[in-house]
Amino acid sequence: DTQRYRLGVNHHQIPVNAPKCPFHHAFHRDGAMRTDGNLGGTVNYEPNRFGDFTQDRNAAEPPLAGGTVDHYDHREDGDYYSQPGALFRLFDAAQRERLFANIAATIDGVPKEIVERQVEHFRRADAAYAEGVIAAMAARAEERKV
């Protein structure tokens, strides 16, 4: 154990320690002694738009005895937007402007298709939310031109 601690969690990637029959451990990406490229720029979260790293339902824990305690499936309820929309409507004009400016600054440089998807999420929460973010992004683009 001392040597594994010294070498790190990826000790099995060092050629002398590599198993003859390699095993796949896709979700254990980072750590000391990573020698295989660390999957490059591949995303390491799920769900994602690339279809990488899908969940394996066979690896899920079974429900506890009685069947009343299990992992909550957040996908069974489609209401993802009422709470953020209600919070947005509580903001006064100054708070909304700060929100729009922060989002525009943060989202600057993100690929267009991702920005469009995110703006659609804002629109589902509240149309004024999406329009405010779009206006702030346009204003930020105009500032860069000057």
Helix 82-90 and helix 112-125: axis angle, to 10°? 80
More confident residue, 15 or 26: 15
CA distance readout (Å), 33 to 15, 18, 37, 141: 11, 12, 11, 42
Per-residue pLDDT reduced to its tens digit, 127-143: 999 999 999 999 999 99
Per-residue pLDDT reduced to its tens digit, 59-86: 777 777 766 666 777 777 888 999 999 9
- Residue 47's closest CA among 75, 79, 25? 75
Count of alpha carbons within 13 angstroms of residue 110, beta-carbon side = 14
